[in-house]
């Protein structure tokens, strides 16, 4: 009997189900079935000794570590002793002749005690050894473990039935145990496979993030849990970054050389995707020896491929964000000084004016450098730029925390004061700022004194930032005229409003007497120097005040009821010029600026088409230029007006592109044919990488959307050549010609450049020459071949 019990215990111990947790493999056996049968048919001391002997023999045969062997023998002897004690308390003595029916109750209670005590002894030890939560081990495969417990109990009962029928059938018990073991192992393996694929799916889904830090942290913690690794390590070769951690948290994030490799087994796998090179390495770290199954190796390769894709996507997203931020910064800041530009100042001011009821007084200081032109004329523009940069640095260093310093252009700066306790505080801050400019500037061994005039205005009750800027400008010129350093705006001394009022009274006479004239600035093919279009620029020949710039009278015209008549007069003169040029052999389109208020008039498209018919011109000879700041494009009537104009064949251009935050959103609403790069970017492109990047992006955007691109403010040959090499086909500016009457432009076309009629500049390359283009430039069709798409 003792030998049989030892054999049953040995077989039950050997028939174990292997489960790896971290670097340790754990086995779950059928030994309780053997000793429970023994307790039912033999004295308890025999069973305890047989259990210890059988477990010891099995551990010796499989060469298990001594400490684990001792633990296994001790644990099983404790379990069998507890079960025997339970049976004894229930009145059952080993070897009694009770029937199986009488034993079911006591055996069930003893077996339950054995199962519970086994879980309480084994799982905490496994959790302590592997660093796994005990609660997780209790929950893992609980339903399968419960089914196995029931199956083992029925095995015990079946064995007792067999022994009661014929004790010689005891030899059939070991094969039965082995059969049940194989079935149970198969179910465990199938369940493990299913759970492994589910965990892999969850782990790869969790990698779908756009933040690289999130991707790496998720991969480390998720990979450690997925592969039951002690640590997971990710090294990215491109960035020289190494991340390491466990299933709970990261333990290191930094350069690879600053952390020790550590001891134990390392399983590396390269991070590579389809048709891409390696971007780094994923490593699983184990404290002890581990051999991954074939399924685990495939899972590891799949996880590494998904991680590679996630890292690439997150890196691409970060790069897109970086480029977008650079473009947004370039659109809102001055390229030379890095200060806010006019657009940024107006936007910030509008925001603060909306909050001024609760956050104090808003004021604006406008600063103009005196005699700055002498610096440029004497020392050159490069020296002038250095002076502007130092002035910007001094202003930036002297302002309070939330005050905004901006450069409006040339030698004009502005400071927006926010949250002032009283209007008078603005004058004190302005004095401090101008005092900061008083110290001479060192320039190539020379000390240059910077003098400036400033005008201060407090935010008005109406008119917004436009009116605030105008009032500060009025105050600044009052300071210049009075020879003072700072002047504060006073309504009584504001002659600008009186002048505008006077202009408004002269408007009806000006329209009736045809005092509005139009000059034309040619648009030139940058490569060939050929004139391809012209932009119409309105002027007012006032009989008493001489020529008035449109910046002074356009707002007055827009506020009056004479805007349609004014627009018609400008359009008529522009179309007459087009016919004159055509008759002379120069078929040039003309571009005319459109007021946003005209787009609110549903009759505007009909009026434009009527003028085209009156002058017998096709619609594609006219281009209407829209300002990028056209926030009215969101109104339904504006959408209808623009749609009618485009459907009629009239070309639309988006002027000053890139100077606002909403360039792309405006472009998506307005069906334009052409983009015009703001002159500020052209001016700054030689000294500012950001300005050049904006121009390059605009050109690429135009090419991808099949839109023409024209650069404004071209004033030098280096600018012309740089724009052409970036892929910009056309430009306008003082390099080619200033605005001039239609007849003078026709004379210039006849004369040409270098004996070539129709040109205003020599070609960049001789005809037929082989041109080496800069990398990435793709030349488009010649400008002359795209006249319907490239006027103005």
Residue that terminates a domain, selected from 197, 230, 248: 197
Crossing angle of helices 100-130 and 31-41, rounded to 10°: 150
| pLDDT for 467 | 86
**Domain match, 714 and 751 both:** yes
Report the chain's terminal Cα–Cα distance, integer Å: 109
| 503: nearest Cα among 569, 468, 548, 470 | 548
| 29: nearest Cα among 73, 93, 85, 88 | 73
Kindly state whether residue 599 falls inside one of the protein's structural domains. Answer: yes
Kindly state whether residue 784 falls inside one of the protein's structural domains. Answer: no
**Domain match, 273 and 356 both:** no
**Domain match, 251 and 351 both:** no
Residues in the chain: 792
Give the CATH number, domain containing residue 565. Answer: 3.20.20.450
Residue that terminates a domain, selected from 297, 324, 351: 324
Give the CATH number, domain containing residue 398. Answer: 3.30.70.270
Kindly state whether residue 780 falls inside one of the protein's structural domains. Answer: no
State the Cα–Cα distance between residues 556 and 340, nearest whole angstrom: 29
**Domain match, 386 and 463 both:** yes
pLDDT (tens digit, 9 = 90+) per residue, 49-64? 777 777 777 777 767 7
Crossing angle of helices 2-14 and 31-41, rounded to 10°: 160
| pLDDT for 523 | 96
**Residue 308 tokens, joined:** 């590679």
Residue that terminates a domain, selected from 171, 197, 223: 197
* Mean pLDDT computed over 701-713: 91
Give the CATH number, domain containing residue 182. Answer: 1.10.1760
pLDDT (tens digit, 9 = 90+) per residue, 648-666? 999 999 887 765 434 565 6
pLDDT (tens digit, 9 = 90+) per residue, 26-85? 455 666 766 677 777 667 777 777 777 777 777 777 677 777 777 777 877 888 788 778
**Domain match, 17 and 161 both:** yes
**Domain match, 342 and 311 both:** no
Of 263 and 592, which is predicted with more confidence?
A: 592
**Domain match, 114 and 230 both:** no
* Mean pLDDT computed over 134-161: 69
| pLDDT for 191 | 64
Chain CA centroid to CA 383, Å: 38
Kindly state whether residue 134 falls inside one of the protein's structural domains. Answer: yes
Give the CATH number, domain containing residue 229. Answer: 3.30.450.40
**Domain match, 233 and 308 both:** yes
Kindly state whether residue 330 falls inside one of the protein's structural domains. Answer: no
| pLDDT for 791 | 29
**Domain match, 157 and 217 both:** no
What pairing do the DSSP bridges indicate for beta strands 280-286 and 265-271?
antiparallel
The whole domain housing 40 covers 2-197
**Domain match, 70 and 144 both:** yes
Q: Between the CA of residue 393 and those of 57, 125, 405, what are the distances in Å? A: 85, 67, 10
| pLDDT for 448 | 82
In total, how many domains does the chain have? Answer: 4
Kindly state whether residue 672 falls inside one of the protein's structural domains. Answer: yes
Q: Between the CA of residue 740 and those of 164, 539, 552, 734, what are the distances in Å? A: 122, 11, 20, 11
**Domain match, 172 and 62 both:** yes
Q: Between the CA of residue 739 and those of 39, 587, 657, 719, 753, what are the distances in Å? A: 113, 19, 21, 19, 17
Kindly state whether residue 159 falls inside one of the protein's structural domains. Answer: yes
pLDDT (tens digit, 9 = 90+) per residue, 75-131? 778 887 887 788 788 877 655 555 667 778 787 888 788 888 877 877 777 667 656
**Domain match, 572 and 667 both:** yes
603 DSSP assignment? T
* Mean pLDDT computed over 409-421: 87
């Amino acid at each position: 009997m003792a030998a049989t019990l030892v054999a049953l215990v040995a077989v039950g111990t050997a028939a174990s189900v292997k489960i790896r947790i971290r670097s340790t493999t754990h086995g779950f056996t059928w030994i309780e079935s053997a000793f429970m049968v023994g307790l039912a048919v033999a004295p308890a001391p025999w069973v305890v000794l047989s259990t210890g002997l059988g477990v010891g023999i099995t551990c010796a045969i499989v060469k298990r570590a001594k400490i684990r062997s001792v633990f296994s023998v001790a644990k099983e002897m404790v379990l069998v002793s507890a079960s025997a004690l339970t049976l004894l308390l229930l009145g059952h003595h080993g070897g009694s002749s009770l029937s199986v029916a009488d034993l079911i109750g006591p055996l069930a209670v003893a077996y339950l005690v054995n199962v519970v005590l086994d879980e309480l002894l084994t799982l905490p030890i496994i959790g302590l050894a592997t660093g796994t939560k005990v609660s997780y081990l209790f929950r893992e495969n609980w339903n399968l473990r419960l089914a196995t417990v029931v199956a083992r109990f029925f095995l015990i009962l079946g064995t007792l039935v067999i022994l009661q029928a014929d004790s010689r059938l005891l030899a059939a018990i070991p094969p039965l145990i082995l059969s049940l073991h194989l079935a149970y192992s198969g179910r465990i393996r199938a369940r493990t496979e299913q759970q492994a694929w589910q965990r892999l799916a969850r782990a790869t889904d969790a990698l779908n993030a756009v933040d690289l830090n999130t991707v790496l942290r998720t991969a480390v913690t998720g990979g450690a849990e997925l592969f039951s690794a002690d640590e997971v390590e990710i090294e990215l070769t491109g960035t020289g970054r190494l991340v390491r951690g466990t299933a709970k948290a990261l333990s290191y994030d930094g350069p690879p050389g600053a952390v020790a490799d550590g001891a134990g087994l390392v399983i590396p796998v390269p991070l590579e995707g389809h048709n891409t090179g390696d971007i780094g390495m994923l490593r699983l770290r184990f404290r002890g020896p581990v051999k991954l199954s074939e399924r685990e190796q495939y899972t590891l390769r799949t996880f590494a491929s998904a991680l590679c894709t996630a890292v690439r996507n997150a890196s691409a997203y970060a790069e897109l964000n970086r480029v977008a931020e650079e473009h947004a910064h370039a659109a809102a800041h001055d390229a030379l000084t890095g200060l806010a530009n006019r657009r940024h100042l107006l936007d910030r001011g509008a925001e603060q004016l909306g909050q001024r009821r609760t956050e104090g007084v808003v004021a604006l200081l406008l600063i103009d450098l005196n005699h700055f032109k002498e610096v440029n004329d004497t020392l050159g523009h490069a020296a002038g730029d250095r002076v502007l940069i130092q002035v910007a640095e001094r202003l930036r260093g002297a302002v309070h925390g939330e005050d905004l310093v901006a450069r409006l252009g040339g030698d004009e700066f502005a400071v927006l004061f926010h949250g002032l306790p009283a209007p008078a505080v603005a004058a004190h801050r302005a004095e401090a700022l101008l005092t900061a400019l008083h110290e001479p500037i060192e320039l190539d061994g020379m000390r240059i004194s910077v003098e400036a005039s400033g005008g201060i205005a407090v935010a008005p009750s109406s008119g917004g930032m436009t009116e605030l800027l105008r009032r500060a400008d009025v105050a600044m010129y009052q300071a210049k005229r009075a020879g003072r350093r700072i002047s504060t705006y006073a309504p009584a001394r504001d002659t600008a409003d009186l002048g505008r009022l006077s202009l408004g009274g002269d408007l009806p006479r000006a329209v009736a007497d045809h005092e509005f004239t139009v000059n034309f600035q040619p648009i030139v093919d940058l490569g060939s120097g050929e004139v391809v279009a012209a932009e119409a620029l309105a002027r007012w020949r006032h009989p008493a005040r001489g020529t008035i710039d449109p910046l002074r009278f356009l707002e007055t015209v827009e506020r009056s009821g004479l805007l349609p008549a004014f627009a018609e007069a400008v359009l008529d003169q522009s179309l007459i010029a087009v016919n004159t040029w055509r008759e002379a052999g120069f078929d040039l389109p003309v571009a005319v600026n459109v007021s946003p208020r005209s787009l609110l008039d549903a009759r505007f498209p009909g009026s434009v088409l009527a003028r085209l018919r009156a002058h017998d011109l096709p619609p594609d000879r006219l281009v209407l230029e829209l300002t990028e700041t056209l926030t009215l494009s969101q109104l339904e009537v504006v959408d209808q007006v623009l749609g009618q104009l485009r459907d009629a064949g009239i070309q639309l251009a988006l002027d000053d592109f890139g100077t606002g935050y909403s360039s792309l959103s405006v472009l998506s609403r307005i069906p334009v044919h052409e983009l015009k790069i703001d002159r500020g970017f052209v001016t700054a492109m030689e000294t500012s990488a950001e300005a050049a990047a904006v121009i390059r992006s605009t050109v690429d955007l135009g090419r991808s959307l099949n839109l023409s691109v024209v650069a404004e403010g071209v004033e030098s040959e280096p600018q012309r050549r740089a724009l052409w090499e970036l892929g910009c086909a056309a430009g306008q500016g003082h390099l080619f010609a200033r605005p001039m009457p239609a007849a003078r432009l026709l004379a210039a076309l006849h004369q040409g450049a270098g004996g070539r009629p129709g040109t205003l500049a020599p070609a960049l390359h001789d005809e037929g020459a082989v041109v080496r283009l800069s990398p990435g430039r793709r030349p488009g069709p010649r400008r002359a071949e795209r006249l319907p798409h490239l006027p103005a």
